[in-house]
Amino acid sequence: MANEKKAIDMDQTVTLTAGDLLQLFAKIQQDNAKAGEAQAKVLAEAFAESRKPYVDPGQEENLRNARKQMRAQQLNQLRNAKLQQRNCEHEQGQTGDERNGKSAFHFLKLPTGEWIGVCSYCRKIISSTDPRDQKFFLKKSGRPAESGQFPLMDPIEAQLARRSPDERALVLKARQEAPKPIVLDEDEVLV
Residue 160 has pLDDT above 90, yes or no: no
Query: How do strand 145-146 and strand 105-109 relate by DSSP bridges?
Result: parallel
What integer pLDDT is reported at residue 93 of this predicted model? 67
List the beta strands (DSSP E) in the chain.
Answer: 105-109, 115-119, 125-127, 145-146, 182-183, 189-190
What integer pLDDT is reported at residue 96 of this predicted model? 61
Q: Which residues are bridge partners to 75 per DSSP?
A: none
- Report which residue type is found at 27: K
Domain-wise residue ranges, the chain: 105-190
Q: Which helix (H) or strand (E) holds 173?
A: helix 165-177
CA 183 to CA 191: how far, in whole Å?
Answer: 9
What integer pLDDT is reported at residue 13 of this predicted model? 80
Among 53-57, 81-85, 173-177, 182-186, the range scoring the smallest mean pLDDT is: 182-186
